[in-house]
Chain A
Amino acid sequence: MRRVAIAVMAAILLVTALALARLAVRDRTALEYVATPPPIMEATPVELDDGEAACQRDVVLTPSSQVIRVWSGAPTPDVPRLRVTAEARGWSMTALSPEHTDRPGGGGDGIYDTRIDPPPREVLATVCVASAEPGRAAILAGSEEPRIVSRSATRVDGREIDARVGLAVLSGGPQGPLSHARELLERAAAFAPAPVGWLSLGLLLAVVAIGVPAAAVYAVLRALREETGA
């Protein structure tokens, strides 16, 4: 009976280990900060005419910030380039979205990924997005869905609008969780009280991954032993 139990448990736990390994190395978007999530079900187009800019305050930018992502709300892939500006105390920058709008991240595929020069330190910045092409309005994807909320409202030329424009900050290209495991644990510990830190969370995760299956195996084998008196 013990052999059967061990074989079954080993098979299930092996499959689980493989699935977890895949989860740990599979690339995911390297989100560093999400000021406003993109629309879920229904996008509200936010049209920015010549000279108009959509701005959000208190956007976190760090020295590892690489890309500011906004979503296009245009009905066609023929979209103008965007000018993205960011300002914080003692620091500012301006960047243009990719030159080729028909390439991934150029806006034509629904996503504008604009590479930025990151600040030298962590800042809470005001980020503004505008059309970079005179005479061509930029249309961004906003949302009025109740589930889409953000720390700061979207303002167009200083006026608060109902729609919230999706805006996220990326630290680079896609990466697997395992490749930045310590950073991931530091994030989990960011608002946790002492003594919770990245190390203790890492240890806890190891205990979960190893200790929980081990406890299940022990419980089964011990119960079989107690029952059979072996």
Chain B
Amino acid sequence: MSLEHVTAGETPAAPGARASVRDAVRAVPRPLAALLAAATVLSLAWALFTPALQGSDETGHVAYVQHLAETGDGPSVGLTEGGAQSQELEELIRWHNLAPLSGVDTARPGWSDVERAAWDRIEGDLRRDDGAGPNPVGQNPPLYYGYEAVAYRVTSGFSLPTRLLAMRLANLPLLWITIVAAWLAIGELFRRRPAPRFAQTVGTGAVALLPMVTFMSGVVNPDNMLAALSTATLALALAALRLGPRPAVLAGLGALAGLSVLTHGRGLALVPAVVLVGALVLWRGRGGPVSARARALGAVGGLALIAIGLLAATAYSNAHAGDTSFAGELTGSGESGLNDLGGFLEYVWQFYFSPMTNMTPAPGEGLFGYRQLFVEQFLTGAFASLEVKYPDAVYRLMQVLQGLGLVLLISAVARCWEIVRAHLAQVFVLAVFLMSLLALLHLAAWQDLNGPEAAPLLAGRYLLPVAAVLGATVAFLVQVLPSRVRAGLGAGILALAAALSVGGVALTVVRFHA
């Protein structure tokens, strides 16, 4: 079956303004509803079985939310009269025995009644508003933290553990947006409506059941909002190829990119992607039904919204991080490696492949490469503060499977080149989103490698904004393979993702509570 061989005639899930909520819920395709339900259960499990503050850098993110919610301003990176955390958070860390826990798998959280009683005795008398910094994530733009502050404020009359859980659960809508946007993005890949259901389901399932997606939604971290916004942007970008350069579409792309920049420094990756996609949409739409004036209006509006996001984020970061760069992602300093293009290219080569004989080894101890980033920390998963891992055999198996998947993809592209060529614009959009994020990550990592600590700041969760690109690739593969193979492959991918997710939760339970 090819991408063209799809049936038409199904109503898109878009209830009118008068449709009731019940109708809207009924209009959700059943496979999508099943995936949303599974992801929600997994997210709840991660939120409840991962002890407080044990997500990646979660202490800093929670301290940021609390200070913002309590004082109306975020914490600073530098020294202040306050502390890294509020007195209340410090005491919870003390009595829940959380300090030795992060990343140390021989430690356990406090779970005794006597510790809980000690916490209960003091919690009412503790300050909440003195966590002004130094907070290592204080330079992050405030959008996600402001969103989380709503959950914090709504539950401000309850104990801190309740507020922490509310903050984690506030990620659920972001998870749902990510999954629904992935569904829509994959649907846009197919020329006819509705999209072929099986490929769309498997592609979306590869996102919804990716263990890192649901794990991250169970902890407080701006990567959740960035993933939701990036996936929504990708869906709109693919839809823009069909809708043309309407002002609302172009402005929407700009708004989403601006919001991403306001969420995290890695949101910068969306700016070049959106600009390039916007240029493509404008080029394709020249001479089309949208007037030149409307196109110009949309383009200017979109760019203005990006600029507003950039300026606001930069202003915020500068105010809270002194003279360090916007969101700490790019220092722009020649000393940090940007003037050594050759070295950068050699580092990128060695990230993916074995070094050539004349290459200089990248700085730092042992290179963090493709296997660690893509296979272990993104496709398979490493949880809590990366110390909750599957057995090595699982990572080796996943490496083999992803290798086979790449071979299958290359052969499918070669075999179905005519189909790919007919969808070059969609391929371009997917590639631009992927490459702009990878370029930003490698550039930032190269700078880190040339910094004083000579260690790259890279983690698999940084790839969550392009999880839908993975889903789209899976959907393509599933769609173009012969029917028996595609059924087995698609079912296998979803079963494997579900198995890894359940296994990840089980490993987390055992690591922290057994």
Which A positions have Cβ atoms within 8 angstroms of B?
1-2, 4-9, 12-13, 15-16, 19-20, 23-24, 28, 31, 33-34, 36-38, 40, 60, 62, 122-124, 147-151, 168, 177, 180, 184-188, 190-193, 196, 201, 204-205, 207-209, 211-213, 215-220, 222-224, 226-227, 229
The answer on a CB contact under 8 Å between B97 and A187 is no
Q: Which residues of B contact A222 (CB under 8 A)?
A: 30-31, 34, 201
Q: Which residues of B contact A19 (CB under 8 A)?
A: 503
Q: Which residues of A contact B96 (CB under 8 A)?
A: 191
Interface of B is mostly: helix
Among A24, A31, A148, A192, max chain B CB count under 10 A is at A192
| Across the A-B interface, the 4 shortest Cβ-Cβ residue pairs | A5-B491, A215-B38, A223-B201, A16-B499
The answer on a CB contact under 8 Å between A20 and B502 is yes
Q: Which residues of B contact A168 (CB under 8 A)?
A: 106
Answer whether A122 and B41 are a contact pair too, CB < 8 Å, given A13-B495, A208-B502: no
Q: CB-nearest residue of chain A relative to B35?
A: A219
Give, as a whole number of angstroms, the nearest-CB distance from B505 to chain A.
Answer: 5
The answer on a CB contact under 8 Å between B503 and A16 is yes
- Choice from A8, A40, A216 contacting B38 with Cβ under 8 Å: A216
Docked pose: A109 CA to B386 CA in angstroms:
29
The answer on a CB contact under 8 Å between A212 and B100 is no
Give, as a whole number of angstroms, the nearest-CB distance from B307 to chain A.
Answer: 41
Give, as a whole number of angstroms, the nearest-CB distance from A163 to chain B.
Answer: 14
Docked pose: A189 CA to B210 CA in angstroms:
26
Give the interface segment out of B20-28, B132-140, B158-166, B411-419: B158-166
The answer on a CB contact under 8 Å between B509 and A38 is no
Docked pose: A168 CA to B110 CA in angstroms:
12
Answer whether A227 and B495 are a contact pair too, CB < 8 Å, given A33-B112, A124-B118, A192-B161: no
Docked pose: A204 CA to B510 CA in angstroms:
15
Q: Which residues of A contact B14 (CB under 8 A)?
A: none
Known: A1-B483, A185-B513, A212-B41. 19 other contacts (CB 8 A): A5-B491, A16-B499, A36-B100, A60-B110, A123-B114, A124-B114, A148-B104, A151-B97, A151-B100, A188-B48, A188-B111, A191-B109, A191-B116, A192-B161, A193-B159, A212-B498, A215-B35, A220-B202, A220-B490
Q: Which residues of A contact B30 (CB under 8 A)?
A: 218-219, 222, 226
Q: Which residues of A contact B113 (CB under 8 A)?
A: 122, 190
Q: Which residues of B contact A188 (CB under 8 A)?
A: 48-49, 111, 509, 512-513
Q: Which residues of B contact A15 (CB under 8 A)?
A: 499
Docked pose: A23 CA to B97 CA in angstroms:
25
Give the interface segment out of B192-200, B253-261, B451-459: B192-200
Give, as a whole number of angstroms, the nearest-CB distance from A29 to chain B.
Answer: 9
The answer on a CB contact under 8 Å between A219 and B201 is yes
The answer on a CB contact under 8 Å between A187 and B45 is no
Interface of A is mostly: helix
Q: Which B residues between 35 and 87 are near A, CB-CB below 8 angstroms? A: 35, 37-38, 41-42, 44-45, 48-49, 51-52
Among A187, A191, A193, A218, max chain B CB count under 10 A is at A191
Q: Which residues of B contact A62 (CB under 8 A)?
A: 112
Q: Which residues of A contact B31 (CB under 8 A)?
A: 218-220, 222-223, 226
The answer on a CB contact under 8 Å between B161 and A208 is no
- Choice from B49, B196, B209, B490 contacting A5 with Cβ under 8 Å: B490
Q: Which residues of A contact B510 (CB under 8 A)?
A: 23, 28, 177
Docked pose: A222 CA to B100 CA in angstroms:
47
B105-123: contact bitstring with A at CB < 8 Å (1 yes, 0 no)? 0111111111110110000
Give, as a whole number of angstroms, the nearest-CB distance from B37 to chain A.
Answer: 6
Q: Which residues of A contact B38 (CB under 8 A)?
A: 211-212, 215-216, 219
The answer on a CB contact under 8 Å between B202 and A192 is no
Docked pose: A227 CA to B110 CA in angstroms:
51
Give, as a whole number of angstroms, the nearest-CB distance from A24 to chain B.
Answer: 8
Give, as a whole number of angstroms, the nearest-CB distance from B251 to chain A.
Answer: 34
The answer on a CB contact under 8 Å between B501 and A193 is no
- Choice from A190, A215, A227 contacting B116 with Cβ under 8 Å: A190
Answer whether A216 and B497 are a contact pair too, CB < 8 Å, given A23-B507, A191-B111: yes
The answer on a CB contact under 8 Å between A9 and B492 is yes
Q: CB-nearest residue of chain B relative to A30?
A: B514
- Choice from B198, B209, B506, B512 contacting A223 with Cβ under 8 Å: B198
Docked pose: A190 CA to B42 CA in angstroms:
20
The answer on a CB contact under 8 Å between A33 and B110 is yes
Docked pose: A160 CA to B450 CA in angstroms:
38
Docked pose: A34 CA to B51 CA in angstroms:
15
Q: CB-nearest residue of chain A relative to B507?
A: A23
Docked pose: A24 CA to B103 CA in angstroms:
22
Can you spell out 12 A-B residue pairs with CB atoms less than 8 angstroms apart?
A: A2-B487, A16-B503, A28-B510, A60-B110, A180-B514, A208-B502, A212-B38, A216-B38, A219-B31, A220-B198, A227-B196, A227-B197
Docked pose: A185 CA to B48 CA in angstroms:
11
Query: Is B494 located at the chain interface by the 8 A CB criterion?
Result: yes
Query: Is B488 located at the chain interface by the 8 A CB criterion?
Result: yes
The answer on a CB contact under 8 Å between B496 and A12 is yes
Q: CB-nearest residue of chain B relative to A218?
A: B34
B377-406: contact bitstring with A at CB < 8 Å (1 yes, 0 no)? 000000000000000000000000000000
